[in-house]
Copies of this chain bind each other. A is one copy, B any other.
């Protein structure tokens, strides 16, 4: 068996523990998973600007989640002004949301994640150049 370190699979409430000997799994909360999923969809134009996002109920049914959980994921986008809420109608992607989102995530990645990622790669003996040479 392999070493099981810093994996981050998903095994949240309601899931069965497939491995009784190892119950130490930090699972990503559902609403954060959904949030990332939606963010990626917006950036990639899957939800075009000006278009309506799936309703919380529809998206919840599609993802097998609770509408409240979906609402929690959506909430962060409206808090950031990336979607406009028309109560009783739906939530619409505002103009420039995709670019703003990409810019913000890009900045966050370069400033926060990359440094420690680079240190970790160095520790593991991985050269950054190697990663882009292979397919």
Instruction: Tell me the A residues contacting B by CB distance below 8 Å.
Output: 2-7, 9-16, 18-19, 21-22, 24, 26, 28-29, 31-32, 35-36, 39-40, 43-44, 68, 71-72, 75-77, 79-82, 100-102, 104-110, 112, 114-115, 117-118, 120-121, 123-126, 128-132, 134-135
Specify the chain B residue showing the minimal Cβ separation from A124.
B106
Copies per assembly: 2
Contact (Cβ within 8 A) A29 B26: yes
| Chain A interface helix/strand/loop/mixed | helix
Contact (Cβ within 8 A) A104 B135: no
Contact (Cβ within 8 A) B32 A100: no
Whether A81 touches B118, Cβ cut-off 8 Å, given contacts A2-B75, A125-B102, is no
